[in-house]
Amino acid sequence: MTKCDVAIIGGGILGTSISYWLSGLYDIKTCVIEKESEVAIHASSRNTGVVHSPFYLDPQKKKILAKSAFLSYDLWKSFAEKRGLEWKMVGTLEVALDEDQHKSLEKYMTWGVQNGISENDLELLDRNDVLQKEPNVSCHSALFCKRDAVVDYGTFTRELKKESQKNGTEFLLKHKVESIQKNEKGSLITFQNNEQLRADLVINCAGGHSLDIAKKFGLAKEYSDLHFRGEYWIAQKEYANLVKTNVYSVASFPDFPFLDPHWILRSDGRSEVGPNAVPVPSSETYSGYGDVGTLISKLSEIVTGNARKLLLNPDFISLISKEWLSSISKTAMIERVQQFIPKIRPAFFAERGTAGIRSSIITPEGTFLPDVMELESSNSYHILNYNSPGATGAPVYSAYVVKKLQEKGFLNYTLQPKATIWNFEKIIAKLNILSN
């Protein structure tokens, strides 16, 4: 039986980032548990790769997430420079299609400045200004954020894993959690291969599986989750430069965790349109609808659980029907983007892009949980509903989590700082200043 001080369940970008900080601050045994053969196989690689500036995040309701995204920008940029990783400055146009949406842009402009973004990096543009910048983009107005970049977060995570390993973290790959027995002294984790690990503290960063892990600890029993697959289409090479900037559109239904369509530039040179939000039975159903057993189990959970209340919401049902249509019809997907890039045609897109899945927590009231949820027991800490811009903000948000664990007495070890690429105390000081 293996013994460790801290076991992190989930080798995505958040779990790996937390392990990096722990390994750099303490001389303790930290293990990262990952069921796949490598870290960042799922959501951490299956995303747009955008390094987001948090102009669209409410500085009060989503303060920590917004500040984490803002402060992490420079950390990721310096990391890319030191590691020779792709970092492409492309900027983002957030477009409004009418006057009502323009009011949202004005709000975003205010939020962006409050979240720390320089006014030199944000600019409100009218229709003609947009046409001068991007002749193939047609809209009422737009907010241009010139500092946004695109990267490969999967590669970033794997490189950060090396830094964590250098300072002593052990990554237990191909280890899927089967069961957890807990007592006042710690937790006994049994894996599918019958190996066991005893840990004093468990940190749950399991992404789409985080709710399942929390329930193994007797937490969040009144919550459920829904999984939505976001699909993309890749522009053929001759059309990839039709627009040279990321283009997002203002969300029509901000209470739902659905992204309105956008044009995305990838770090490898591809351009894609999407996504939709297709309900699927699991956090790893990247195509089709999975096996019959999983599908039936999820449908039963929806009908009998919290999510059934969403079925009574006509806006939700209408949206879902449109999302399904855009999944089976390329034309339906492209028509959504034609609202602001009228020149594009279905024939410009011959290949599907990488699908990603967003797992959203459903509250006991039957609504989507709007923010990250953190839960704790005597020997465990759980991070649920950690979604976009989670990859952008991971370096700072993970430092924030470690600081909370210190203050709560979960990390009762002597500090023995090692040489690291980022400075923990400086980040926490900046976060505190910005959060006051």
Regarding whether 190 and 51 lie in a shared domain, the answer is yes
CA 259 to CA 317: how far, in whole Å? 16
Which class for 5: exposed (0-12), middle (13-18), buried (19 or more C-beta within 10 A)? middle
Q: Which residue has the higher pLDDT, 321 or 355?
A: 355
Would you say residue 28 has pLDDT above 70? Answer: yes
> Token pair of 434, please?
């910005």
Would you say residue 436 has pLDDT above 60? Answer: no
Asked whether the beta carbons of 374 and 400 are under 8 A apart, the reply is no
Would you say residue 259 has pLDDT above 70? Answer: no
Report, as an integer, the average pLDDT of 351-378: 94
> Can you give the residue range of the structural domain that contains 128?
98-146
DSSP 361-392: EE-TTSSB--S-EEEEETTEEEEE---SSHHH
Regarding whether 198 and 64 lie in a shared domain, the answer is yes
Query: How high is the mean pLDDT of the chain?
Result: 94
Would you say residue 324 has pLDDT above 90? Answer: no
pLDDT reported for residue 434: 59
Lowest-confidence segment of 12-16, 275-279, 396-400 by average pLDDT: 275-279
pTM of the full structure = 0.96
Regarding whether 296 and 351 lie in a shared domain, the answer is yes
pLDDT reported for residue 321: 83
pLDDT, one tens digit per residue, over 217-240 is 999 999 999 999 999 999 999 999
Structural domains counted in the chain = 3
Regarding whether 166 and 202 lie in a shared domain, the answer is yes
> Residues with Cβ < 8 Å from 181, sequence gap 6 or more?
187, 188, 190
Lowest-confidence segment of 38-42, 139-143, 324-328, 393-397 by average pLDDT: 324-328
pLDDT-based confidence at 339, cuts 50/70/90?
very high
pLDDT-based confidence at 307, cuts 50/70/90?
confident
> Please, what's the b/e burial string for 222-250 (b: 16 or more CB within 10 A of its CB; e: otherwise)?
ebbbbbbbbbbbbbeeebbebbebbbbbb
* Amino acid at position 376, single letter: E
CATH of the domain at 267: 3.30.9
Taking the CA atoms of 127, 132, 133 and 134 in sequence, report the sign of the dihedral they define. Answer: positive
Would you say residue 384 has pLDDT above 70? Answer: yes
Regarding whether 82 and 171 lie in a shared domain, the answer is yes
Regarding whether 176 and 251 lie in a shared domain, the answer is no
CA 36 to CA 172: how far, in whole Å? 9
pLDDT reported for residue 188: 96
Q: Among 146, 181, 214, identify where a domain stops.
A: 146
pLDDT-based confidence at 314, cuts 50/70/90?
confident
pLDDT reported for residue 261: 85
Asked whether the beta carbons of 99 and 126 are under 8 A apart, the reply is no
Give SS3 for 232.
coil
Regarding whether 281 and 406 lie in a shared domain, the answer is no
Angstrom distances, CA of residue 185 to CA of 32, 216, 236, 375: 20, 17, 57, 18
pLDDT-based confidence at 75, cuts 50/70/90?
very high
Would you say residue 154 has pLDDT above 70? Answer: yes
Q: Among 368, 387, 416, identify where a domain stops.
A: 368
CA 111 to CA 65: how far, in whole Å? 13
Regarding whether 197 and 55 lie in a shared domain, the answer is yes
pLDDT, one tens digit per residue, over 157-214 is 999 999 999 999 999 999 999 999 988 789 999 999 999 999 999 999 999 999 999 9
Report, as an integer, the average pLDDT of 61-90: 97
Regarding whether 230 and 218 lie in a shared domain, the answer is no
Q: Among 313, 347, 368, identify where a domain stops.
A: 368
Regarding whether 406 and 329 lie in a shared domain, the answer is no
Would you say residue 80 has pLDDT above 90? Answer: yes
pLDDT reported for residue 301: 83
Regarding whether 341 and 312 lie in a shared domain, the answer is yes
pLDDT reported for residue 291: 83
Regarding whether 79 and 18 lie in a shared domain, the answer is yes
CATH of the domain at 207: 3.50.50.60
Report, as an integer, the average pLDDT of 345-373: 95
